[in-house]
Amino acid sequence: MFQLLKPKLGDREAEALVNFVDAKLNKRHEPDCTLLATREDLAKETGKLSIKFAETEAKISETEVKIAETEARLIRWMCAGFITLMSAIIGLYFK
């Protein structure tokens, strides 16, 4: 590449351009070790995820209990309303 650029740009400019491109390519293809995780890091994150999972399961259990309680209350109110409605219909029928 240097030989192709040398006649058009000159020695210094061609060398500077080749060095710049080479540096960019080397930087791009170097492994980035800051993104790697160790076994200890993975163990810590696994522990955190396990705790969060347990907390989420507890919240789901609480929600299921609340739904069951609400369902029971709804059934009681429906029965009370049905009995009241039937009493009114029977009372109007025998009036």
First to last CA, the chain: 109
Domain boundaries, the chain: 2-68
pTM of the model: 0.48
Q: Are 45 and 53 a contacting pair, CB within 8 Å? A: no
Q: What is the pLDDT of residues 26-79, one digit of tens each?
A: 776 666 666 778 889 899 999 999 999 999 999 999 999 999 999 999 999 999
User: Rounded to an integer, what distance in angstroms lies between the CA atom of residue 9 and that of residue 19?
Assistant: 14
DSSP label of 10: -
